[in-house]
Structure 1
Amino acid sequence: MRLNLLTLFSSMTLSSILASAACTSNTTDTSGLQKLIHDGGAGYKLQLCAGQTYELSEQLNYTAMNQEISTEGYPTDGTRATLKMVGFNKTTAVMAQDPGLSGAKLMNIQINGNRLDNEDIYTAGGGNIEFGGQNQNQIIEYVKSYDPRGWSCLHLSEGTFNCLNITVQNNDIGPCGRDYFQNWADGISLSCADSLVQNNNIVDATDGGIVVFGAPSSTIKNNTISVKTRTMLGGINMVDVLPWLPEGNFSGTTVEGNTIHGGFATSMGDNSMGPNNASAIIKIGIAVGPNVWFSDGRYGTNKSTGAIIKDNVFSGAFAFGMGVSSAKDFTISNNSFTGNTSFIGTYGPNCTSSSKTPHEPTALLLEPSSIENLDLTLPSDSKFNFVNGTALGLTCFMPPAKDQNSWPYGDGFNSQPSSSSTTSGTGSSTTSPATTQSASGGDGKKSSAFKSISINGIFSSTIIAGILGAVFIIL
């Protein structure tokens, strides 16, 4: 049938009206948004308007399978709609953990937890985003989550150990928490099994950048974790032996290809290092085993077990690049340092004493008496070896004062490291400015040219530094 002009005009006008009404305006209050989700049923998309902020008095709950909350047009920049928590004593903006919420999506949106600068952390309640639970196949991507009132910017729960296959990718996370005692917050807290966490950018998460709670058979790869204005306790943490059973179950979990940046100098100092205006470091770049984190023996002889850590790259200022203790059946291979690095810090008030005093800062720390069956491989051109020592409660170290020349210069800064400042990887003194060190990443291929340390059982021998291509089997 041929359309006349009036019919065509009417059709175009109707289409324009429908297009302009596609997103839900921020004049809709929290109860109105929740009603749309509830009434929409399975597969409903709540699309918010770009550039608008929606103040939440309560958390928004997904109510059926395959529902989505997103910004119209799926922008990836600052025009993403913002959900801002303003409700009294509320911590969670979006929740998708109840049974029957498989396939839930949170996409192209910003979550502002709205923790004020003068507020302490809320000790009850959840993270900004709570996904997982008794569900599968959920997706979180192109989301910015920051300033949670609670303990995490993004929490992926294990449910009753039946959460599977969450994809978390291309998100901007942080800042999360404050870097003073017990006011920390995680960036991403992963406990859902068979999940993929990739290509996320995590800045100034003050507890762990990514904390892996077992999450068996999950992959954590190609994420960038860094500090700018707040000290981070750990970049990637594999230290919690609960909740998965048997305790310490990291079986099949792989941490690979991540880039972890400690602090860098923010202004000129001497010819190799400078000060940092926030005194910001990462205390442990990758932490393995409960004793590395907890100094009170709360997990007894339990160990983190069964994961693969490979091809990760470190740069900047840390207390420890990696700390490994109370671990079993791990493969740790081809992790490298690039650019300028320093390993700095002093014993803090919570460090232990006498025989349990932690080793001073160093690139790679291993506690031989508490590990079993570890396969450790370093790039052939690595300037650092694993150093044996006490790796207990390493989060107790405190960064230097911000005006000390202890932070290395980042790429493109005004200075190059001096040749006299490079060490063999034993770490800097805790009472003097750290040394700046450069390391090359290697090509990630295992060959006879690599340093290889195959560890079976308990040992106490010292790994000899500087010998390339040798294999040590230490019983």
Structure 2
Amino acid sequence: MLNSVPRTPSSWSIYSILCSILAATIVRSACVDNSTDTAGLQKLLTEGGEGYTLSLCAGQVYSITQSLNFTNTSQEISTEGYPTDSTRAMLVVSGPKTPQVNHTTAVLGDCENCDFIRIKNIMIDGDRDLENMAPLPGGGNIEIGGANQGQIVENVRSFNPRGWSCLHIAEGPFACSNATIRGNDIGPCGSDYFQYWADGVSLSCANSLVENNDIKDATDAGIVIFGSPGSTIRNNTISATDRVMLGGINMVDFDPWQGNFSNLLVENNRIYGGFADEYGNSSLGVADQPAVIKLGMAISPQTWWGDERYGTNTSSGPATVVGNVYSGAMVFAVAIAGARNFALINNTLYGNTTFAGSYAVNCTTGADKPHEPTPFLISDITTNSTNITIDNMNDFVEGTAGGLTCFGVMQMPELDEYPYGPNFNWSALAAVDNNASTTTTASTAASTGLNMGSATGTDSVPSPSVAPQNSAERNTLTMQAIVFPALLLAVGAVGLI
């Protein structure tokens, strides 16, 4: 028999290192690489059973030809190591895309025993051809909910859906509850061509939480709340950057909850219309693409539809809309009509804002003609809204508040009528020509008669030291701003060769 040799501290250290390397190797090999086809991925979910995690490999793209369907409680689809950046595994919707035969959903989680499923740290590309393809019949990029509870979607990027939503949490037989939608980056979703729209997050699951999501260019609305009684929507950022959005946050759908928005809390969300990309004049700048939110916060069916399809039906609380801020280019910041038992508290404009739009062909005329653009609008028909508490009622204008999405904004505001945002690069302008004769300040904007909101705090719009005088000068300055740094980089690169 060989005598056992006691391990010295150094041998223990080597042994520990070897074990660590082996463990790391095992963890890395645990992910399922993209050589596995859709059927193979689905087989793993089906046979994995309760608690199974389908771990995808970081940095890999998976072209799927059918939806991946959860099959049991507490299953998970995620990227190995849970990255939050562009190394997250990407699912690309790659099945048929014709109206007759189509594939619209990447991940489906509405099975009978899909409680507590998790979709985490992945990316989903719906692969929609925005210019040539209308939204297809079918579901969103992600479809969860149903008669389930405790489902989670976290740190997921979802964009470019072929269907009507980037992320849909369905009510099922009105038994869905306690879903959590947190920390996701959503959008762009849909096109701003007429009826080519798509939602960012479509919530119809009760007692759910939607928080800390960044939603961009969801052309129907950033977050659509289909009743979802008992839910909380908080600390989300919704912005239009290069597309027109019909809504920021919507509480307008009577179905499927029959207007039941009871115990809903919508708080501390930031809703940004578009901002100028280039300098225009002392108060307004130039946008590269139309980027307007028509209704920042829409409450009641009437605000959305002007054809009386819902008659006197209302969005009914008690519900609280509190601490939300609105900035950038919009038609209306807040509009309310046909609502009951809603409290609107501390909903404010922030930074620079414009409110503009033109009456378009879908706008009603005569006595039902919608009120012109304004920050805060409430229906002047008192029977439409009852038990409404508004702390800044003096800021609200009473007027016809029906069918407000009808306003045309593709050229209105014009592309040279956008407010300056907090990140506008004034310093680049100031550095170009120290001999310019005109100096503009943020206070100059007040003389335009536009509602520019308040410009206070650390994000207030700084004033430029130098303002170019005309479009030719602006073009010259833009070329200087681009070419001169490029020359410096080129010289530096030559010096390194």
CA distance in 2, matches of 1:243, 1:24: 39
Q: Judge conservation of contact 1:313–1:441 (CA < 8 Å) in 2.
A: no
> Where does residue 265 of structure 1 map in the other structure?
276
> Where does residue 235 of structure 2 map in the other structure?
222
Render the CA deviation track for 1:162-219: whole Å, top value 9, x for unaligned. Answer: 0000010000000000001100000000000000000000000000100000000000
- Residues 409 and 32 of structure 1, relative CA distance in 2, 3 Å threshold: same
Q: Judge conservation of contact 1:238–1:287 (CA < 8 Å) in 2.
A: yes
> Where does residue 118 of structure 2 map in the other structure?
105
> Where does residue 183 of structure 1 map in the other structure?
196
> Which structure 2 residues correspond to residues 190-269 of structure 1 after superposition, within 5 A?
190-244=203-257, 247-269=258-280
Q: CA deviation at 1:62?
A: 0.2
Percent identity, aligned pairs only, is 50
> Which structure 2 residues correspond to residues 32-431 of structure 1 after superposition, within 5 A?
32-88=40-96, 89-244=102-257, 247-306=258-317, 307-369=319-381, 370-378=384-392, 385-399=395-409, 400-401=411-412, 403-413=414-424, 414=426, 416-419=441-444, 421=446
TM-score (norm 2): 0.82
- The amino acid across from 1:331 in the alignment is A
CA distance in 1, matches of 2:199, 2:106: 16
Higher strand share: 1
- The amino acid across from 1:303 in the alignment is T
> Where does residue 38 of structure 2 map in the other structure?
30
Q: CA deviation at 1:402?
A: 7.0
Render the CA deviation track for 1:421-462: whole Å, top value 9, x for unaligned. Answer: 368xxxx7xxxxxx24122799xxxxxxxxxxxxxxxxxxxx
Render the CA deviation track for 1:370-405: whole Å, top value 9, x for unaligned. Answer: 2111000129xxxx7100000111001111357543
Q: Judge conservation of contact 1:248–1:304 (CA < 8 Å) in 2.
A: yes
> Where does residue 434 of structure 2 map in the other structure?
none
For the residue of structure 2 that corresponds to 1:58, the secondary structure is coil
Q: Judge conservation of contact 1:367–1:390 (CA < 8 Å) in 2.
A: yes
Render the CA deviation track for 1:223-264: whole Å, top value 9, x for unaligned. Answer: 0000111000000000001101xx210000110000000111
- The amino acid across from 1:102 in the alignment is D
Q: CA deviation at 1:11?
A: 6.0
CA distance in 2, matches of 1:185, 1:422: 38
Q: Judge conservation of contact 1:276–1:402 (CA < 8 Å) in 2.
A: no
- Residues 302 and 46 of structure 1, relative CA distance in 2, 3 Å threshold: same
CA distance in 2, matches of 1:376, 1:56: 49
Q: Judge conservation of contact 2:352–2:455 (CA < 8 Å) in 1.
A: no
- Residues 2 and 183 of structure 1, relative CA distance in 2, 3 Å threshold: farther
- Residues 418 and 17 of structure 1, relative CA distance in 2, 3 Å threshold: closer
For the residue of structure 2 that corresponds to 1:438, the secondary structure is coil
For the residue of structure 1 that corresponds to 2:294, the secondary structure is strand
For the residue of structure 1 that corresponds to 2:261, the secondary structure is coil
- Residues 418 and 162 of structure 1, relative CA distance in 2, 3 Å threshold: same
CA distance in 1, matches of 2:415, 2:106: 40
Q: CA deviation at 1:268?
A: 1.0
Render the CA deviation track for 1:315-350: whole Å, top value 9, x for unaligned. Answer: 101000011111111101110111000101101110
- Residues 20 and 417 of structure 1, relative CA distance in 2, 3 Å threshold: same
CA distance in 2, matches of 1:271, 1:12: 62
- Residues 187 and 63 of structure 1, relative CA distance in 2, 3 Å threshold: same
- The amino acid across from 1:374 in the alignment is I
Stretch of structure 1 that moved more, 403-412 or 196-205 = 403-412
Render the CA deviation track for 1:98-134: whole Å, top value 9, x for unaligned. Answer: 2100000000000111102333233310000001111
Structure 1, gaps ≥5 residues long: 429-434, 443-475
For the residue of structure 1 that corresponds to 2:391, the secondary structure is strand
> Which structure 2 residues correspond to residues 421-460 of structure 1 after superposition, within 5 A?
421=446, 435-439=450-454
CA distance in 2, matches of 1:217, 1:207: 24
> Where does residue 432 of structure 2 map in the other structure?
none
Higher helix share: 2
- The amino acid across from 1:322 in the alignment is V
For the residue of structure 1 that corresponds to 2:166, the secondary structure is strand
CA distance in 2, matches of 1:86, 1:405: 39
CA distance in 2, matches of 1:16, 1:107: 21
- The amino acid across from 2:156 in the alignment is V
Render the CA deviation track for 1:275-322: whole Å, top value 9, x for unaligned. Answer: 222121000000000000001111111000112101000110100001
CA distance in 1, matches of 2:21, 2:290: 59
Q: Judge conservation of contact 1:121–1:151 (CA < 8 Å) in 2.
A: no
> Which structure 2 residues correspond to residues 452-471 of structure 1 after superposition, within 5 A?
none
CA distance in 2, matches of 1:2, 1:200: 58
- Residues 389 and 401 of structure 1, relative CA distance in 2, 3 Å threshold: closer
For the residue of structure 2 that corresponds to 1:35, the secondary structure is helix
Structure 2, gaps ≥5 residues long: 97-101, 427-439, 458-497
Q: CA deviation at 1:418?
A: 3.7
For the residue of structure 1 that corresponds to 2:274, the secondary structure is coil
CA distance in 1, matches of 2:360, 2:108: 38
Q: Judge conservation of contact 2:222–2:238 (CA < 8 Å) in 1.
A: yes
- The amino acid across from 2:389 in the alignment is D
For the residue of structure 1 that corresponds to 2:354, the secondary structure is strand
RMSD: 2.2
Stretch of structure 1 that moved more, 175-184 or 17-26 = 17-26
